[in-house]
Every structure is written in structure tokens, then in C-alpha cells.
Amino acid sequence: MKQLLPLDTWVRKDHFEFFSRFEEPFFGVCTEIDCTRAYEQAKAGGHSFFLWYLHRSLAAANAVAPFRYRISEGQVWVYDQVHASPTINRPDGTFGFAYIDYHADFPTFATAGQQETDRVRNSTGLVPAISGENVIHYSSLPWINFTAVSHARSFSFKDSCPKISFGKMTDVHGRKRMPVSVHVHHALMDGYHVGQYLELFQEKMNE
């Protein structure tokens, strides 16, 4: 479900109109997440760490309203929920696109997520996921402890979905750290909202 955001009464109306005119309206930040507790919890329960942190990321994104905003034909729509459209890496070095519904209940999410992960890993090609605007584009680069990320973009395609990437987990002074990149549409949100997401994501990783 989605509803229209009234632009005339939106506190960010001027920001929306300003950044909507940009050829490249996305901005991005890179930081690190402490995943010591999350990794321990996932492994203790026999869960996929990828699905564990993906679920926490989605929970945080759904809780920060602008991450559920999307632009369509000059209007801003607010979705009740957003879901995951991640890349799934294969043993042969390729990847495929997947689609995983968000469920607040982790076991439900993990079951569906594992089925989708297995499906994509056992397929070939990109396997375009049946998704839509109410997704976050996720990617995982577990080989790279990155400090910056850029994304391939088709500027003729009017995309407003956030793009979140995860990198290689490393041990730093006894703590497990993982780089996270967040790219978002500046007409829909600012650094303040990205900060809210990152703070909440870290809290959920610490639970």
C-alpha cells in the first residue's frame, strides 16, 4: 500500500523541487558498522549472517520514513513497507538479482530469504527480480574492505530507490567491523535521515 505525500505542506518542498532538477540527484556516504554482537548471535543460532544483517538493515530503513518515499511522475509516494532487492553472489563469480519481502519476524524473513538465495544461486544470468519501486537495492562485496563506493546508473531511468552496500568484515582490536555504503535520492532525504538510519541499524545489530 502507498499514499501520496502532499507536497504543498511538506517541510522539504523546496529541497524536493531543487534536487529533482539534478542530473545526478543521489548522494552517498560510507561508514563502518560494529557487527560483533550480530555475528555472534547469528552464528549461535545457526543463521545466515547475510540474512541477519539484511533483516536488521530493512527494519531500520522501514522505521525511517524517507527510506519509504519514492518519486513517480513528479509526485512523492509513501509506501507502508519497503523490501529487499539484493544481489546474490554465485560460486562461479557471477551474481543474480533477487527479491525478498520484509517481515518483522526474523524466522519468517530468513526462511523466505534462504529459499530466494538458493534459487538465484542455482540459476544463471541476472534473473531480474519481480520487484518495483518499494524496494531497496542491496549489494554485498564481502571481498573488499571499501572506503568509497559508486554505482552504475542509467540517467534515463528515473530511479529513486536507496542503494545500500556491505563490504568485507574485518577484526579490529577484537571487534568485528563491516563497511556500509548508503546512496539515497537527495530530493527525498538529507544526511540527517541517513544518520538516523545508520544509528538505528547499529542499535539493531547490537540487540
Q: Which of 198, 192, 177, 188 is nearest to 61 (CA)?
A: 198
Pick the catalytic residue from 47, 173, 183, 186. 186
Catalytic residue flag (residue 173): no
Neighbours of 148 (CB within 10 A): 9
Q: What amino acid positions are annotated as catalytic residues?
A: 186
